[in-house]
Structure 1
Amino acid sequence: MKLRHARAVAVSVCVVVALTGARRSHGGGCDDSSSSHSSSSSSGGSTHYDDDDDYDTGSSSGGGAEESQVPAAEDTDDLKIEKCEYDAAQGLVARVRATNSSATTTYSYSFTVTFKDPAGKELHTTSSGILTVDAGATETTDVAVPQSASGGVRCELSDALRMSDSY
């Protein structure tokens, strides 16, 4: 699996979790480090504290997003770098423009900007996004990193993906 596809899956999962308000349950999860189990042994006894919110009702309806409900991310040419410069107040700055090429669908965009010196040496790489660009509309965002550069800066755009906001 390519890195950009893995990022697309991660973005999709985050969007679904944020939109559904999903909470951690015993049925799954990426990290068990947040579970709260504690025991003490004063007087030879043991106490178990379970702070997970388990609402077992005996039924298994609902509770997860089916694969068809997760918006698919796709490669896009809708993103362009408008400006790339060093700004004394902000550091390295790239202005990225998203022009939604669809006539009917609202999209959100994710991308990576790599800042390089004039010789091509990588100075910094960061990921960002532009959310909710209506069909046919254009939105911009400034991606800034607090780093200085002498002699100029170049910006490269990669991992440009768009994801439908209608699901």
Structure 2
Amino acid sequence: MNGITYVEGDATAPGGEGVRVIAHVCNDAGAWGRGFVLALTRRWPEPERAFRQWYREREANDFGLGAAQFVRVEPELWVANLVGQHGIRSVRNQAVPVRYGAIDAALGLLADKAAGLGASVHMPRIGCGLAGGTWDEVEPLVVGRLVDRGIPVTVYDFGA
């Protein structure tokens, strides 16, 4: 047991009581429009708007690999935009965009925020979809940054 609760379901509809943070991985190219972010945008427009503004104003803020942005979408629900992907995969660029070090750094920021809010964290298998990462690499980062600090974590596997 590593302390993570695994459930089948939709990470955009996190269970439990109290303050919750939905975490996901974003890219550093400012792109938003494929993968898990589509499900987020269907529920709340705020995370996409905030991410796009954060990217547009990146010369004057902390946007970049390893950064995290926290967007409140409901009184007890936040979305964490974690920048852990360098660029995007395309026909021209087949390189795997995941950056484990950046995910680790962003998870550290998430841990601080969740601890400050007294929140639980909910996520899909971050960094393992379009970013091209493997859960074998990401899971120990989640454990080390969140679970080991006593922050409850639920990982959602979207079922049919």
TM-score bin, normalised by smaller chain: under 0.3
Larger helix fraction of residues: 2
Q: TM-score, normalised by structure 1?
A: 0.19
Q: TM-score, normalised by structure 2?
A: 0.20
- More RCO (CA 8 Å, sep 6+): 2
Larger strand fraction of residues: 1
